[in-house]
Structure formats: structure tokens, C-alpha cells
Amino acid sequence: MSASAGRLRDRLAADPLWRAVRLLDVRWGRTVKAVVLGSLALGSSVALAAVAAWLIARASQMPPVLTLGVAVVSVRAFGISRGIFRYLERLASHDVALRGMAVLRANLYAALAAGRPGTVVALRRGDLLARVGADVDAVGDVVVRALIPAGVAVVVGTGSVVLLTAFLPAAGLALAACLVVAAVVGPWLSARAARTIEVRGAAARADMTSACLDLLENAGPLAVSGRLETRTAALRAADREFAAANDDGARTAGLSAGLVAGATGTAVLAALLLGLPAITAGTLTATELSVVVLTPLAVFEVATVLPAAAVQLRRSRIAAQRIMAMLDGAEPAADDAPVADSAPVGSTVHGGGTAEGTAPVARLDGVACGWGRDPAVTGIDLVLRPGRAVGVVGPSGIGKSTLLMTAAGLVPTQAGTVTLDGVAVDDVPGDELARQVVFVAEDGHVFDTTVLENLRVARGDVTPEEAREALADVGLVGWLDALPDGLGTTLGPDATTVSGGERRRLLVARALLAPAPLLLVDEPAEHLDAATADALVARLVEVCRSRGRGLLLATHRLSALVGVDEVLVLAQPADGGPAAVVARGPHTDLVRDVEAYRWALDREQSGVQVT
Amino acid sequence: MKPLDPRLLRQARAARGYVVLTAALGFVTAALVVAQALTIAAVLAPAIQGTLDTSRAAPLLAVLAALVAARAVTAWAQERFALRASARTVAELREQVVTHAVALGPRWLATGRGPAVATLATRGLDALEPYLVRYLPQLLLAATVTPAALAVVLGLDWISAVVIAVTIPLVPIFMILVGQLTAGTSERRLVVMQRLGAQVLDLLAGLPTLRAFGRERGPEKRVRELGEANRKATMGTLRVAFLSGMVLELLTTLSVAVVAVGVGLRLVYGDVGLEPAIAVLVLAPEVYLPLRQVGQHFHASTDGIAAAQQAFDVLDEPVRPRGTVPAPALAGATITLDDVSVRAGDRDVLAPAGLTATLGRAAGGRGSVVALTGPSGAGKTTAALVLLGLVAPDAGRVVITTPAGERHDLADLDPATWWSQIAWVPQRPTLSPGTVRDAVLDGVGQVTGEALARAARITGLDHVVAGLPQGWDTPVGLGGVGLSVGQRQRVALASALLGDPAAVPLVVLDEPTAHLDAHDEEAVLDAVRTWRDQGRTVVVVAHRASLVALADTVVTVTSAVEATSGVDTGSAADARDRVEVRS
């Protein structure tokens, strides 16, 4: 293998689109079949033009009609076969793409399921949906809209050039040159135009979007403060800038369209210019001249879809980049312990007080954590063991969720260590970790299935009685009884039919059913009124304690923390910088000793009476 | 659904110019197509028959070259101006939709139309681009090239013209027939397909949750199965959906073949000349080409028309007429909410229900603080919006009584003159892009550095500013430093403190429900006290006891289930009873 071929292979291997297409697991046999069918379809119309041209030229010489028989039948046959082959090709190419997309989604799922847990848990729902939804579609589209049309163009273009070359080599060469302009240069320019619009328009588009949202979301305040005019002017300016970017791209796109249109006519003109002397010289017969001149008119149809194909290629590459970035982020670290085939979770029930004796202890020593380069929270020491409940309080956005995810081993620490029974969490296999520690995210997913199946996400063998009991624990029995089919009621995609408060309680009920002895629960009481919120948290603490479970609870309500063993108060220092523990101890001690804590609690409780 | 909605032309100036240009280019293209076919035939026919005179061929070839160049130029112009026109058309519609939606007010936007309008304005209208750039030109070519080419064929060889004229109507007829035959099946299959697709996405979206419970391994098989089922269902739909495309291709290509064979056979008997025969052969596909392209871009057309339709639906919403009477000077005036009820969304609930309250009228020039309290959902914020004139009450009215005794209904007043006398601090204040100083001074007028420093001290904004990289000159808002809701609240409070109390005598404050710490709360309380000391009337939507304690008047807002006969007067009476004056 030559060095340049090796380089090409390396470049191809690094190309995100190529990597994504490989994940489509495309069967090349099926792709070839689609290209062949597509070539037969377009080839039919080229052949129709060629045979019709011959037929007319020959007929004008008034031969016996019988000698035209084959040509007449062929023209009619090509007239029919084009539509049929095109239909078959569309089905074949979509089949290839759809198979690929299904495989890519499954591969994505498998990769994310096996990958580094933090990346997956931290993925924003919208991002994940966009990656597996629209972006996978875009990668699949590359097959239908770019690869197969390009293959067809190569086959039919080459075939036509060969046909013309057989009659008049110079005309074949001219056709080849014109085809290169129409099928390579034109699409390349179109893709460039699309890129210009996208790159130059990106900032304008962002400005336009934010101006639109600003106007719509803040219509009232903007009107009252008399700022509506200036914001509308800002939208207009952003749109003008966006139009200017479009205009820039339009110049290139126009050039591309002009070249493609010109190439078609030029091919015919060239055939005439080359054919007329040839017929005089006697190297070309009259019927052959007809074929050489009139066939090119049909050939250029192969190029019509290629500009769109080039644009699609670019769009798909960007989508593939995003998919690959997600996959690369989720790739397990090289030193991760290989995960052995484990017994299905739920076959060993840890709940119900069986955790004693084999108690897992999670310990945080001097932990600093955060998503970016700088830690959000620093200097955390904390011990969590079955039967013990710890609360973390602090204003929204201070880093409570990050701390919980770090404690769950989902986010790597920036300093300090997190250990589970003395073993660093990074060294605990994922399955084992999930059996011991469960992190209940604020925005946990409610599946498009029944209430019972949603609860069984925590443990596969939850019985209806257990489910009912867990829902009772979170005060959802009334809600359950009001459902048309009780536990068998389907909740709809992402539980849009469930209110914010009900959804949150459902997530807590699910957490209670999990077999893991250590629960890390993020803001269980958001979207609930104060009384319900406090009752829910109190019940959660009570249930965990009575069943010998460890609970780490992040909340911004203090009044709910009466029952926990220790409260960590997080606050940001006045000079900015990472948040740290400013006070810790049992709730009653904090109320007694810490003025700010007492003040905040007072406000909260008086607030209960007002709202 | 019309393929070209006249309203699109009425609403968007750029679209009008574009359609005119495209139509003109359509006529030019038609002329060029015909001329090119005739020229090719004029050169090729004598060449085939061996009668070509080189002196006659040269000028014809020159003409052909000119025609090819002209077609390239028209194609360039079409593409060049199509993209520009579509960007402008979308921009025009976007501005109209956004402006109209803003004029419809917060209540309309809150009915769930808000997010839909936002999606339409930021992304939905983009569907007009393929419609304008790809579909519309082909539609106009179908209206120019197709009849022009057909007319020329009629002149050259009437039998071919008849064949073409008969097959053209077959195209829509067969497509409609196929569409009707398959409509039921494809709709049923589409539902199955969407359901399966949604299930795959649901499992993938839930992966983080499954992962947290260590149960991510089982569903992988399910994802594969669902993917396979989805593919089968989709292929089933496509098998039917592609039928209409096949009919279109079959009819158009077969017609060209029939014309070619017919002309060929008649050539043998000398019924037609070679030159017209070649011209007909070249023109026949051109007759069908625009029709096929229209069919190909059909989806672009439906998406584009649907987007335009959504825009027109928004624009068709009637806007409440604005008052025209200039608002009287608010200083010293009394504002009365008289039995005000607002229907909450689509529910049969009035929130507030029959709210009556009197604001202002404080003795001795001292300001007053009115707290609106009540359980969440009672309509406190809505009551504030009614007072601001942003929501029109469904029953009752807001009356302004000047010290001279003149009475004005708020609905009759010019909103701009009313708003200029009010400072409003909403729950989530928004900042204009610019520096922190710009944001505070926005709409305030000339202020001394001393006054600014004082306002910053009262609201605690001085601490926020001290923590910013460039202090008062730090850019905020779009593209600047993001301030938290609490910090933005302080900016808005400071801004509301700075205005001239005589020119802006009314302050409306919607207290944030989000978590506040001791400093935040003290800032809000201090601001309210300062406003009162400045002699302003302060209306506070209060959630916290500390704010209620500060109020001179507490108005309890209640909601009520709407009685079928109209406003539930019983609860209105209740609301009046609960107005209690403490000071």
C-alpha cells in the first residue's frame, strides 16, 4: 500500500461522518443494489433519449418499418422501466438508511449504557433527544440523499460517456468535461454557499433567536418600560445581518446553478461542433450524429440532485460530529474494570433492612467538585452509612446537585477522594456501584409506559402491593386511585400528563423501591407547596431510617430537615469563589447556634402562612 | 390550501417582488427552451439528411451558444435572488408575527401559544425557504414553460400535441386516485410509525435514569427490536407513499416514449418532417419537467404553506383596541379596581374573582404600600397585570380618579402615557443589552452619581457590582455576563428607585418566589420603604410575611369557580370583606 493511500485511510478513519456511517453498519450488498436500481432508472431515461434519437434519424431515411421494430419496443420499454426502477430504488435506498439508523440508535444506546456513567447522567435531556433523534436521521439521510445519488451519477455518467466515446471519442471527452462541471464543481460550490450562510449567519441567527425570545417572553416588561421599540429594532437589525449572510451565500449558489445550466447546453453545442465536421469527414454516420447530439440532453438529470447531496453531506458531517463527541465523551476510561456479566439487578434485594451487617459506607474526604475547570464546591467531608440521613442545603445553583453526583461516583472529583467501603468509587465496577448507591436526579425520566413499569425501573420485581405502598409513602395514593387504570395507567411520553409535583413524588417513590442501600436524592420537594414538601421529606427520612438505608438529601428548604442526623450548610464566600460548608450539625443545634440559619428558617415558616 | 397564498404576497413585500421576478424569469426560460429546441433541430436535421450548408450552420451555432449562455444567466439569476428574497420574506413575516404576538399581550402568550409562536418565529418560518427557493419557481415554470412548449409542439406536429395534452391531465388525476386509495393505509401506518419512533426516543431519553438505577442493560435488546419494528412500519408507509411518485414518473416518461415512437413511425411515411420531429423530441420532456419538479418538491410546498398558515393564524388574532386618551397625571390620583375578574386560561376559574381595591389616596403626601396576598393560583400576578393594563379584565374595570374628580377607565387610556408613569419590577426582570450602568439607567433619565450610589446601596447592587470584572461598565444581557435572577432583581429595584417620584408615582413589584437569603430580602424591604418615603404608591404581590407586615393595606386576592350565569358574586363579596386596612 502506498503512503498516500495510507494517509487517505487515516483521514477517512478520523472523519466523524465516516465513523458515524460505519456505525450504521450498512450492508454494502444492499447499497450496491440500490445504486444498481437507481442507475437502471436514470439509465432508462438516457437510453430512451439515445434510442429515440437513433429512431428518428433512421426513420427519416424511410426504411422498411419492420427494421425499426426493436427500437420502437425499446423506447416504450424504457418509458415504462424508468418509473418502476426509480420506485424500487427509492425503497431499496430507504431500507438501507432505515436499517442503518435503527442500528446506529441501538449502537448509541449500547455505547452510552456501557460508557462512563457521569457523561450519561449529566447529558441534558434535550441534547440527548437531539443526538439520537434529528442527528441520527441526518446521518441516515446521507445514504439516501448523498451516497446513493452520487453512486448513480458516477455509473450513469460513465456509461453515457462510454456510449458517446464509442461513436465519437472527442464528443465523449466533451461530455465528460461538462459532467465534471455539473456534477462536481457545481455541487462543491453549493456546499460552499451553504457553509457561508451557516458560518456567517450563525451569529446573526443567534442574535435573531434571542431577540425573538426576549420580545415574546418579556413582552409586558418591555412594553411598560418603553423598550419595545429598541428591541424590535434589534430584531430587525439581526434579521438584516442574517439576510446579508444569505446574500453572500446566494452569490456562490447562483454561480453553481448557472454553471450546471450552462454545462448541459455546452455539452449539446460541443457535440454539434465536433459532430458536424466528423459527418463531413465520414467518420460518423447520420444516425450516430443524432445520438451524439441528443443524448446529452437527458444525461444531465444525474447532476440535478447533486448540489443538494453536497449540502446534505456537510449537514450530516456536522450531525455526526455531535454524535461522535457524545460517544467519545462516554467512552469508558481505559483502566475501568471490565464489567462481568452480572445477575440482573433486582434478583438480590438489598432493601427491607437486609443491608445491616454488610453496610456499605460512602465517605467523602476533602472533596472539591464541579463541571468546569474551577470547582463549584470545595472542602467537603462527609460519611454516609445505612440508617443515617444527611441534608445538604444552600441556595439554588450553588452546586448541591454536583456534590451529590460526585458522591455517587458519576462526576470525577477535582480534589479529595470518594470511597465506598474503602475502595475509590472510580475502581468500583458500574453495576456494583449502582447496586450500592442510587442518585435520584431532579429531572429523572418518566417513561412512556404504565405507572407500575415506571416504578419497576428501580427494581424489576416490584409487586403491585409494593408499588402501592411506595406511592402511599409519598402521598400519591389519592392520585393513584383517581387514575383510570390504577397502576396500569400509561403515563404518556415523558409524563406530560403528570403535574410537576406528582412527577417529583413519583420519582421519590421509585427511589424508595430501589434495592441500593444508599440513596442520594436531589431536591425531592420542588414544585410542591410548603406543607406537602415538608411532609414528603420527613416521610422520606423516616422510611429510610426505619429500613436501614442511608440518605443524602439536597434541598433548599430548611424546615424539612428536622429529622436528619446532620445538616451541611453550603454558602458562597462574599468574594465569589467555590462554595464551602459554613455550618454543620444537627438541625436543632444549627437553629440554636447559627443566626443566619435561624433567620432563614423563620422566614420560611412565616412564608408558609402567607402563601 | 392554495399553492400560492395571496396573503403571503400581501404581507411580505419581498415576496411580491420575488414572485414578479420569478414569473418574468419563467417567461424568459420558456422562450429560451423553445428557441433552443428549434435551433438544435434546425442544425441537426439538415446535417442528418446531408443537406447542411456550412455557411448556414455557423450563425445557427452562434445563436445556440448565445441561448446556452442566456439559460445559464437565467438559472444564475433565479438562484441568486431566490435565496435573498426568501431570507427577506421570512424576516418580514417574523417581525410581523412577533410584533403582533407582543401586541396580543401576556395573557394570550400565556395560553400556550407563546412557546408555539416562539418556535414559529425562530425556526418554523424557515420552512418557507425551500418553498420559495425550490417549489415556487417550478410552479411558475409549470405555468410558463409547459404551455409554451406545448403550443410550439402543436404548431410543429398536432398529433404529438394531442398525445401530450391528453396525458398532462392524467398526471393529477392518477395522483389523486392513488392518494385516495392509499390515504387510509398510510395514515394508519404513520401513527404506528410515530408511536414506535417515540418509544425508541423515550428509552434513549431515559437512559440516564436507567443508568442511575444500574438497569441500562436490559432495554438494549428492546431498542433494537423497536428500531427493527419501526423500520418495517416505515417501509410499509413508504411502499404506499412512493406509489404516487411512481405514477408521476411512469406517466411522464411513457408519454415522451409514445410521442417519440409516434413521430418516428410517421417520419417513415413522410407525414412529418425531420426538423419538426427533432424539435418535438427535444421539447416533449421539457413539457413534463416542471410538472415532475413540482411533484418532487411537494413536501417543501406543504411545509412552507403550513408555516405561512401558522403565521397568518397569529396575524389574524384580533388585537384589543388601544385606548387613545392621554393618561392623566397619576400623582395624587386614586386607582380603583372595581369588581375585577379574569378567566384563568381555558379553565372555568376566575383568578382573581371579583377583586375590588382602592390604591393611592394616602394622607399628607406620604406614599402607601398595598400588598396583594392570597394562595398561589388566586390571581395575584394577574391582578397586577390588570393594573398595568397588560391584561384586560373579563369583568369589572380599573378606574383612575384625578384629584379634580375626573374619572377615566383604564381601557380608554393610551397605554404608552400610562406606562411612562409606572415602574414595574417583575419576578424575573430582563435587562437590555449594555453595561450594568446602562441597565440601571435605562429609561430613567439624568441621575447624579450620588443618587446612583445610594440606590445601589439600598438594593445591595453595590456588592454585585463590586464582584463584576469591570464594575459598573461590565456588559450584561445578550453576550455579556449572565446575572442571576436575584442580581437582575437588584438591578431592576435600583432602576425603579432612581426615577423621579413625581413623574413615576406608581411602583408595581412582583416579589420573587425563588429562594432569597437574608440580604436579598432586606434589599427588597428597603426598596419598598424608600419608595413609600419618596411618596409613591407601591403595589406588591407579596409571598412573604415580612412584606405583608410592611404594607399599609392588605388585599386578599381569591379565585372562584366560574358560575355558568357569570361572575360568582358571592365570592366577590368575600373578597371585598377581606380588604383590611391596618394603618
Label residue A49 by pLDDT band (50, 70, 90): very high
Average pLDDT of A79-88? 94
User: Is the confidence at residue A593, as pLDDT, over 70?
Assistant: yes
Residue with the larger pLDDT of the pair A442 and A103: A103
User: Is the confidence at residue B87, as pLDDT, over 60?
Assistant: yes
By DSSP bridging, strand A566-571 and strand A580-585 are: antiparallel
> E strands, B542-581, where?
553-556, 560-561, 580-581
Query: Is residue A416 a contact partner of residue A367, using CB atoms and an 8 Å limit?
Result: yes
Q: Which residues of B fall within a CB distance of 8 Å from A269?
A: 61, 64-65, 68
Average pLDDT of B517-521? 68
By DSSP bridging, strand B475-476 and strand B434-435 are: antiparallel
pLDDT at A342: 37
CATH of B6-315, one of 3.40.50.720, 1.10.3720.10, 1.20.1560.10, 1.10.1740.10: 1.20.1560.10
With 0-12 / 13-18 / 19 or more C-beta atoms within 10 angstroms meaning exposed / middle / buried, residue A113 is buried
With 0-12 / 13-18 / 19 or more C-beta atoms within 10 angstroms meaning exposed / middle / buried, residue A442 is middle
Q: Report the 10 Å Cβ neighbour count for B471.
A: 12
* Nearest residue to A438 via CA among B209, B180, B23, B288: B209
User: Is the confidence at residue B578, as pLDDT, over 60?
Assistant: no
Query: Is residue B426 a contact partner of residue B509, using CB atoms and an 8 Å limit?
Result: no
Using one digit for the tens of pLDDT, what is the confidence trace for A280-329? 888 899 999 999 999 999 999 988 889 889 988 888 888 888 888 888 87
pLDDT at A118: 65
Question: pTM for this structure?
Answer: 0.77
For residue A417, give the 3-state DSSP assignment. strand
At B328, list the grid cell.
392623566
Look at B204 and A109 and tell me if their CB atoms are within 8 Å: yes
Look at B122 and A79 and tell me if their CB atoms are within 8 Å: no
By DSSP bridging, strand B334-341 and strand B355-360 are: antiparallel
Q: Name residue, grid cell 446579508.
A: A244
Report how far residue A478's alpha carbon sits from residue B498's, in angstroms, rounded to the nearest whole number. 51
Q: Which residues of A fall within a CB distance of 8 Å from B72?
A: 258-259, 261-262, 265
Residue with the larger pLDDT of the pair B546 and B58: B58
User: Is the confidence at residue A116, as pLDDT, over 80?
Assistant: no
Please tell me if residue A236 touches chain B, with a CB cutoff of 8 Å: yes
- Stretch among A188-197, A422-431, A602-611, B221-230 having the lowest mean pLDDT: A602-611
Average pLDDT of A32-60? 95
Length of chain A: 611
Label residue B149 by pLDDT band (50, 70, 90): very high
pLDDT at A339: 40
Contacts of A587 (CB under 8 A, 6+ apart): A391, A558, A561, A562, A563, A564, A567
Cα–Cα distance list, B414 to B320, B321, B423 (Å) = 12, 10, 17
Q: Name residue, grid cell 388601544.
A: B322
* Nearest residue to B549 via CA among B371, B293, B415: B371
Please tell me if residue A347 touches chain B, with a CB cutoff of 8 Å: no
Report how far residue B358's alpha carbon sits from residue A405's, in angstroms, rounded to the nearest whole number. 52
Contacts of B519 (CB under 8 A, 6+ apart): B460, B463
Q: Which residues of B fall within a CB distance of 8 Å from A408?
A: 212
pLDDT at B577: 35
Contacts of B31 (CB under 8 A, 6+ apart): B148
Using one digit for the tens of pLDDT, what is the confidence trace for A383-395? 998 989 999 988 7
Predicted ipTM beyond 0.90: no
pLDDT at A347: 34
Query: Is residue A247 a contact partner of residue B84, using CB atoms and an 8 Å limit?
Result: yes
What percentage of chain A has pLDDT greater than the value 90? 28
Q: Which residues of B fall within a CB distance of 8 Å from A457?
A: 206, 209-210, 213, 215
> E strands, A93-155, where?
none
Angstroms from A481 CA to nearest CA on chain B: 23
Average pLDDT of B33-57? 90
Angstroms from B490 CA to nearest CA on chain A: 15
Length of chain B: 583
Positive or negative: CA dihedral B25, B26, B30, B31: negative
Look at B416 and A226 and tell me if their CB atoms are within 8 Å: yes
Furthest-apart CA pair in chain A: how many Å?
116
pLDDT at B573: 37
Of B78, B220, B281, the CB nearest to A109: B220
Label residue B278 by pLDDT band (50, 70, 90): very high
Label residue A155 by pLDDT band (50, 70, 90): very high
Angle, vertex CA A538, rays to CA A536 and CA A542, nearest 5? 115
Report how far residue A345's alpha carbon sits from residue A348's, in angstroms, rounded to the nearest whole number. 7
Look at A63 and B268 and tell me if their CB atoms are within 8 Å: yes
Of B82, B213, B227, the CB nearest to A458: B213
For residue B128, give the 3-state DSSP assignment. helix
What's chain B's average pLDDT? 83
Please tell me if residue A187 touches chain B, with a CB cutoff of 8 Å: no
Angle, vertex CA A270, rays to CA A266 and CA A275, nearest 5? 150
User: Is the confidence at residue B210, as pLDDT, over 90?
Assistant: no
pLDDT at A186: 92
3-state secondary structure B153-180: HHHHCHHHHHHHHHHHHHHHHHHHHHHH
Please tell me if residue A287 touches chain B, with a CB cutoff of 8 Å: yes
Please tell me if residue A214 touches chain B, with a CB cutoff of 8 Å: yes
Cα–Cα distance list, B477 to A152, A220, A283, A543 (Å) = 51, 18, 76, 46
Which secondary-structure segment (H or E) carries A522?
strand A518-522
Query: Is residue A487 a contact partner of residue A468, using CB atoms and an 8 Å limit?
Result: yes
| Start-to-end C-alpha separation, chain A | 77
Look at B544 and A448 and tell me if their CB atoms are within 8 Å: no
Please tell me if residue A279 touches chain B, with a CB cutoff of 8 Å: yes
Angle, vertex CA B158, rays to CA B156 and CA B163, nearest 5? 120
Domain parsing of chain B, residue ranges: 6-315
Q: Name the residue of chain A whose CA is nearest to B109's CA.
A: A216
